[in-house]
Amino acid sequence: MHPPRLPAATAVLVALNVAVWLLQVASGVPPLHPPSASLVAWGGDVPLLTLTGDTWRLFTAMFLHGGVGHLAMNMLALAFTATRTQDEYGTARMLVIYAVGGILASCATVRANLHDPVGLVTVSVGASGAIMAQFGALLTALVLVPPRFAHLPPDKRPGIDQGLIQVVVMNVALGFIVPHVDQAAHLGGLFAGMVLGAVMAAVPTATSARAALARHGIAALLLTACVSALLHGAPRQQMMVQRVLWLGQLGAPR
């Protein structure tokens, strides 16, 4: 028996994450325990840098990992969640949930560390926030009707998936137990995914270009509002001085 194949969009997401790790290793970054300076150079989410001009780190951090073990665990989880989300919501909506949910998870990390001197210069990387957004969307699908089941009568639609709920609870609980886990990203991604799932499940039978544009436009507005609120709530001038000093100590470009 051949193992089940990943849907194309899910396979591309996994391939992108693996490709970035391979490029890091090819450039000389240690495959098991990359140093903080390397992760910063490749686009890790450091709140101090993100809030002082490097907003793009909210996105790039989603494709970086702290070693091959971190990558392997996240890719296994991604293969499960993205495949199922793609099956329930469709390819385009799954990709929106992944990208927007992942960035909002990064925003949650930055916001949680805004007034923490240590957290402000901690490097956060990984796809786990985007993965938790997939979990959040799947939880929403237990309540609302995703596109896949919109044509079925209510009595034929799936009921509560206890296995999914157990997996989500276990992942959240592990975040409180296992050290060095970015729990802010996990919870932020989970909540963002639930909201995005509601947006993507709205009027599930509407598949026209106008309906798709409306859904994706709402997701873009939500993302813009959250990122703008994050940036405007930070003491930017004070942080610019901290940025120069910290990068000098780290030996990274300013």
| Residue range 54-66: mean pLDDT, rounded | 95
Closest CA to 130 of 101, 153, 159: 101
CB 137 within 8 A of CB 197: yes
Active site residue 186: yes
254 is a domain residue = no
Q: What is the percentage of the chain residues whose pLDDT exceeds 70?
A: 90
Catalytic residue among 128, 208, 216, 228: 128
Query: What is the pTM for the complete model shown?
Result: 0.88
CA dist., res. 142 & res. 149, Å (int): 11
CB 96 within 8 A of CB 24: no
- The more confident residue out of 250 and 122 is 122
**CB–CB of 61/126 below 8 Å?**
yes
User: What's the average model confidence in pLDDT over 237-247?
Assistant: 86
pLDDT tens digits, residue range 191-215? 999 999 999 988 777 778 888 899 9
Averaged pLDDT, 164-185: 77
What residue numbers bound the domain in which 153 lies? 8-17+31-249
Q: Is the dihedral of CA 241, 124, 88, 92 positive or negative?
A: positive
| 1 band by pLDDT with thresholds 50, 70 and 90 | very low
How would DSSP label each residue in 73-127? HHHHHHHHHHHHHHHHH-HHHHHHHHHHHHHHHHHHHHHHTTT-TTGGG--B--S
In a domain, residue 24? The reply is no
In a domain, 1, yes or no: no
Q: Is 196 exposed, middle or buried (0-12, 13-18, 19+ CB in 10 A)?
A: buried
Residue 216 falls within a domain, yes or no?
Answer: yes
3-class secondary structure, 182:
coil
Q: Across the chain, what does the average pLDDT equal?
A: 87
| CA–CA gap between residue 148 and residue 89 (Å, rounded) | 6
Burial class (CB in 10 A: 0-12, 13-18, 19+), 245: exposed
Residue 26 lies in a domain: no
The answer to whether 14 and 81 have CB atoms below 8 angstroms apart is no
Could you say which of 27, 186, 208, 232 is catalytic? Answer: 186
Q: What is the pLDDT of residue 152?
A: 65
- How much is the average pLDDT of 47-68? 94
56 inside domain:
yes
> Can you give the CATH number for the domain in which 233 is found?
1.20.1540.10
Total number of domains constituting the chain:
1
Asked if residue 187 is part of any domain, the answer here is yes
The average pLDDT across 184-192 equals 93
Query: Is residue 23 included in any domain, yes or no?
Result: no
